[in-house]
Amino acid sequence: MDLPFNAEGLDFRKLERSYLSAGTSAMVYLTHLSGGAKVILKSPHKFPRRDKLTESLEKESSACLKREIEVLRHLGSHPHIIHFIAACGDELLLEYHPKGCLTQYLGIEPRPSTPLVLSWATQLAEALVFIHNKDVIHGDFSPHNVLVTDQRALVLTDFAGSPFRGLAGLVCYGTRYTSPKYNPDSPQKQDDIFAFGSVLYEISFWKCLFPEITPEDEWRIREAYKAGEFPDVSAHVLGNIINHCWREPETAEVLLNHICDLAVDGHESLNFECRREI
């Protein structure tokens, strides 16, 4: 579909909704616009039972989506950021990517080639450069919030509750993507960079970080990070970059340049596009 979509006169109440998933901050539906275009509709949680807890959860959900609308309007268009279509109150429409998120493919689909991994690393670094230059911190960077397009490119999504212009975040990182220096009351761009390192590990080695650790034992991951204990990544072309993200986080611009340098530093045969200036 052509974007941006002209949503003038669009009545969200009349949109047919097919349930896709429920996240921490929102319900996610598939809907159709005039002409048949499929898009994502994100809507705040609504609970049938009314009490103080459900009212609080509904307010939090609404606040997260209002933050997402504000952030996406501020960011504007970028090839590796989810396309924002329209909003009404605390509901919003986003471009639909039927292939779903990167998490669905880890360890299941055939392992991607090194050129594809480097291309993906470049795309995600470009996305981080773009949002950080606009004073936005993602706040929940993980493969679950990275979508795969029909062209096998990657798109960063889910800015519900992202720290923005000095406002505190309304969400937090998953355990495997949380820096030991992370302070939820004072989120930093380096927190995104640490999470980026964990995502790079997972697309490079094509498996979840610490796959043997269950949710009940995730405290072990936090303890390992605090002790500076990370998986060995020396065997991969992105190993040094991953280690920098975990141990000595640099800016997204510096990391993007490091990734681009791999194309000309002994890896001329790796065919992938890299744009140093975003």
Q: Which CATH number belongs to the domain containing residue 172 in this structure?
A: 1.10.510.10
What is the CATH classification number for the domain harbouring 60? 3.30.200.20
pLDDT for the residue numbered 9: 64
pLDDT for the residue numbered 264: 57
pLDDT for the residue numbered 118: 94
Q: Which of 46, 77, 95 is the last residue of a domain?
A: 95
Report the share of the chain in percent with pLDDT over 90. 76
pLDDT for the residue numbered 4: 46
- For residue 148, being part of any structural domain is answered with yes
Q: Which of 67, 95, 123 is the last residue of a domain?
A: 95
Rounded CA-CA distance 153/121 in Å is 10
- For residue 192, being part of any structural domain is answered with yes
Q: Which two tokens stand for residue 71?
A: 């952030």
Say yes or no: 59 and 146 in one domain. no
At 35-63, the pLDDT tens digits run 788 999 999 999 888 899 999 999 999 99
Say yes or no: 218 and 182 in one domain. yes
Residue 238 has pLDDT above 50, yes or no: yes
User: Which DSSP state fits 108?
Assistant: T
At 137-181, the pLDDT tens digits run 999 999 999 999 999 999 999 999 899 988 888 889 999 999 999
Say yes or no: 39 and 156 in one domain. no
CA dihedral 110, 113, 116, 120 (to 10 degrees): 70
Residue 272 has pLDDT above 80, yes or no: no
Comparing C-alpha atoms, which of 100, 82, 83 is closest to residue 150?
A: 100
Phi and psi based region of residue 111 (left: phi greater than 0; alpha: psi -120 to 50; beta: remaining): beta
Number of domains the chain contains = 2
Say yes or no: 150 and 117 in one domain. yes
Residue 278 has pLDDT above 60, yes or no: no
Report in angstroms the alpha-carbon separations of 250 from 110, 152, 185, 242. Answer: 31, 27, 21, 11
Report in angstroms the alpha-carbon separations of 72 from 30, 98, 156. Answer: 19, 21, 11
Say yes or no: 108 and 246 in one domain. yes
Q: Please compute the mean of the pLDDT values over residues 243-259 and round it to a whole number.
A: 95
Say yes or no: 32 and 114 in one domain. no
Rounded CA-CA distance 184/158 in Å is 18
Within 10 A of 192 (CB to CB), how many other CB atoms are there? 28
pLDDT for the residue numbered 271: 46
At 218-236, the pLDDT tens digits run 999 999 999 999 999 999 9
Residue 92 has pLDDT above 60, yes or no: yes
More confident residue, 272 or 24: 24
More confident residue, 3 or 265: 265
Tokens 């080639």 appear where?
A: 113
Q: Please compute the mean of the pLDDT values over residues 106-133 and round it to a whole number.
A: 94
pLDDT for the residue numbered 143: 97
Within 10 A of 218 (CB to CB), how many other CB atoms are there? 15
The verdict on pTM exceeding 0.75 is: yes
Using CB atoms within 10 A of its CB, is residue 114 exposed (0-12), middle (13-18) or buried (19+)?
middle
Q: Which residues, listed in sequence order, are joined to residue 92 by a DSSP beta bridge?
A: 42, 87
Say yes or no: 78 and 183 in one domain. no
pLDDT for the residue numbered 6: 53
